[in-house]
Structure 1
Amino acid sequence: MGAGPSVALTPLAAPCPTDRVTINGEFGTAAFNIDVADDEPTRAQGLMHVAQMPLSAGMLFVYQKPQPLSFWMRNTLIELDMIFVDGFGEIKHIHHRAQPHDETVISPGSIPLVGVLEINGGLAKRLGIKVGDVLRHPAFESREEPWNCAE
């Protein structure tokens, strides 16, 4: 008897990691290892009381629906860049070098947004990250279907 048809099995793609984001722009690609703040307690805590953070690290704040977002730096010990994004991960506003302990409200206004990436202060300019660049993370939809997070 002859052998049956040969079937090549393709392994299922692993889910995209939730502890990493990439930002793509004219400058190229930057990647950050992140903690995700996606509920009220973790968003309220944020990066308060963190004395230092590696250059390749950050915190991603994620909201379930688009809304105006605002932050302040009470009890935050390090200078931060705040990168505000819409539901597709497109960067809509960058607040550079938010100052530690400052209670001034930081907001891009009434633009409905769903996420904010906080990274070390000054890093966005140093890397060349700009409004219009795209942050990729499983929390955001992709305009390029399907999005391959392995890229």
Structure 2
Amino acid sequence: MNDPASSTSTDDPPDPEKSDQNLPNITQRRATLVVALVIGVAILAIAGAVTFSGSFAESPGLESSVISDGPPTHRMFFENQRGQTLWVYDVWVADTGPERYQGLSETEILPTDTGLLFVYDQEAADQAIVMREMHYTIDIVFIDGSGKVTAVRSAPPEPGVPNDELTHYTGRARWILEIPHGTAERHAIVPETSVRITGPTHSIDPKSTINTAHDST
């Protein structure tokens, strides 16, 4: 018969030294877990940012690179037959195929007294402009190689119209200028108005016997 009072426990008491040795392991595992979580969150954040950036880059573009790369580079003077200046526009230049295709598409506004000048290799009787992805009405001024306005059109936006059904605004032109709507009429810019263009890459002066146009295309 066993005596409970005299019996001893078979379980060994915990070893304080071994417990202390386990603490660094636990702390290390916790630290490793925290680092792994931080790295995982960072990877997810970077992946999300790359996805967002990629989808934004693949979109048509929220504004035209032609007019957002810097301030206008050229100036256009419209003059009547007596040589009096009717108005002056500070303009950006679109003189390459991609720039002319982009134009003012996807922009929200054309600032007052500014414009976008389309420059072509040579004059043509039927240079055309369409309102692809445009959100506001503009005036389109067609200018021949001698610096004379040949036609002025008012062009409203055509939301939802397929590219092959867009209205083509045509006229004889070596240069085409897009300006804020209503300003052509307000400043008496009509056919036969003379135009002077000054700037680092393109210039024309009807009064001079020498006109220069340095094309990038």
Superposition TM-score, scaled by structure 1 size: 0.75
User: How many residues get paired?
Assistant: 127
Choose from 46, 50, 53 the match for 2:107: 50
CA distance in 1, matches of 2:187, 2:181: 11
Q: Which has the higher helix share?
A: 2
Distance 1:81 1:122, change over 3 A: same
Q: Comparing 56-65 with 134-143, which one deviates more in the overlay?
A: 134-143
Q: Pick one of 9, 14, 29 that aligns with 2:86.
A: 29
1:87–1:140 contact (8 Å) kept in structure 2: no
Q: Report if aligned partners of 1:88, 1:140 keep a CA contact under 8 Å in 2.
A: no
For the pair shown, the structure with the greater C-alpha radius of gyration is 2
- Aligned partners of 2:90 and 2:121: how far apart in 1? 21
Q: Which has the higher strand share?
A: 1
Does the CA contact (< 8 Å) of 1:22 and 1:136 recur in 2? yes
Aligned to 2:186, the other structure's residue is in SS state: helix
User: Structure 1: 5+ residue runs without aligned partners?
Assistant: 1-16
SS at match of 2:127: coil
Distance 2:175 2:76 in 1: 12
TM-score (normalised: structure 2): 0.54
Identify the structure with bigger relative contact order (alpha carbons < 8 Å, sequence gap 6+): 1
Provide the rounded CA distance (Å) in 2 between the counterparts of 1:107 and 1:146. 28
Gapped regions of structure 2 (runs ≥ 5)? 1-71, 211-217
Match of 1:145 in 2: 208
Q: Contact conserved, 1:81 with 1:95, CA < 8 A, in 2?
A: yes
1:33 and 1:128 map into 2 onto residues whose CA distance is 17
Is the 2:86–2:187 contact (alpha carbons within 8 Å) kept by the matching residues of 1? Answer: no
8 Å CA contact 1:18, 1:137 repeated in 2: no
What amino acid is the match of 1:132?
A: E
Letter in 1 for 2:104: L
Residue of structure 2 equivalent to 1:91:
149
In structure 1, the residue matched to 2:192 is: 132
Distance 1:146 1:86 in 2: 15
8 Å contact kept, 2:77–2:85: no
Secondary structure in 2 matching 1:107: strand
RMSD: 2.1
Shift of the alpha carbon at 1:141? 4.1
Q: Supply the AA of the counterpart residue of 1:29.
A: L
Distance 2:78 2:107 in 1: 23
CA deviation string 1:6-29 (max 9, x = no partner): xxxxxxxxxxx9521111126733
Aligned to 1:5: none
Could you report, residue by residue, the CA deviation over 1:25-61 in whole angstroms, capped at 9, with x for unpaired residues? 2673311111100110100000011101112110000
Q: Is the 8 A contact 1:72 1:105 kept in 2?
A: yes
Equivalent residue in structure 1 for 2:127, among 53, 65, 69: 69
